Amino acid sequence: MTTSSDLLAEDQSILSNSLGTLTSAPSQSPAKVLVVEPHPTLRTVLVQRLRQDGHLAAAVGSAQEAIDLCREQSPDLLVSAELLDHSSALVLAEQLGCPVIILTARTGVEPLVSLLNEGADDVMRKPFGLEELAARCRTLLKRGRIGLQERVTVGPLEVHLLLRQVTLREKPVELSPREFALLCALLMPPGMVRSRHELLRMAWPPFSGGPRSVDTQVLTLRRKLEQAGLGDGGGITTVRQQGYRFSLDSLPS
């Protein structure tokens, strides 16, 4: 049975272990975005949308979980509900030392102005559109000169995150949206074992799919990468009782 500590450990892995191993343009790296939202459905939807933009996004439900998650490194951007248990978005942002977009349920202009005057980098009133939030995140990250990774290159394989295109030796590889999301999850970083549960959280919409869905999509992704010329298994290896890994060693020279 998966526990809340298991989920926290997985998100910590996403934030802290997914940097530094991708071959890409100099000074380009995925932005680390942390979502802190007490409502479980909302935080799941938010982190899924942010991952679609190529961010390394993780989500927790409380300020203490956020502090525990970020003991080794701070996120590049915090997206947080205004009021948290025994804390607030502004206090948490100061503790983590990062810019913050505050999500508030308060109405009227004065609360928004007050939050901005007190140090918020941006404020959004609930309910809000996911695309607007994604756009505001991109704007703040660019303003902070944080490089949103545009492409990932591993051997002869190149994945364009923003264009959602895959090429192998400069030839296009046609993938479905789910196969593309699955490949990105396996490539962040390459060589890291991803469990079926973790792949579901990273590449599937909230509350959809299951372990068998992962196995089926891995099978079709392998077949397409093989047919494109990436070698046996398409670079994807099965790690018994653990999950899947995109193995650099299996790529052709």
**pLDDT score at 37:** 96
**pLDDT score at 143:** 75
Ranges of CATH 1.10.10.10 domains, the chain = 151-250
Distance CA 159, CA 167 (A): 7
| HEC per residue, 108-163 | CHHHHHHHHHCCCCEEEECCCCHHHHHHHHHHHHHHCCCCCCCEEEECCEEEECCC
Distances (CA, A) of 129 to 85, 87, 138: 25, 25, 15
Q: What is the percent of the chain with per-residue pLDDT over 90, rounded to a whole number?
A: 37
CATH pick for 4-143 out of 3.40.630.30, 2.120.10.90, 3.40.50.2300, 1.10.3720.10 = 3.40.50.2300
Ranges of CATH 3.40.50.2300 domains, the chain = 4-143
**HSE of 187, CA atoms in CB hemisphere, 13 A:** 27
Distance CA 64, CA 103 (A): 18
pLDDT at 252 over 80: no
Q: Which residues contact 6 (CB under 8 A, 6 or more apart)?
A: none
More confident residue, 152 or 95: 95
Contact assessment for residue 250 and residue 237, using Cβ atoms and an 8 Å cutoff: yes
Distances (CA, A) of 158 to 59, 152, 161, 180, 228: 28, 6, 9, 12, 13
Closest CA to 81 of 65, 149, 24, 73: 65
**pLDDT score at 129:** 86
Distance CA 30, CA 22 (A): 9
CATH pick for 151-250 out of 1.20.1630.10, 1.10.10.10, 1.10.760.10, 3.60.15.10 = 1.10.10.10
Contact assessment for residue 37 and residue 80, using Cβ atoms and an 8 Å cutoff: yes
Give the confidence band of 127 by pLDDT, cuts at 50, 70, 90. confident
The first and second tokens of residue 109, run together, are 């202009």
More confident residue, 157 or 162: 157
pLDDT at 145 over 80: no
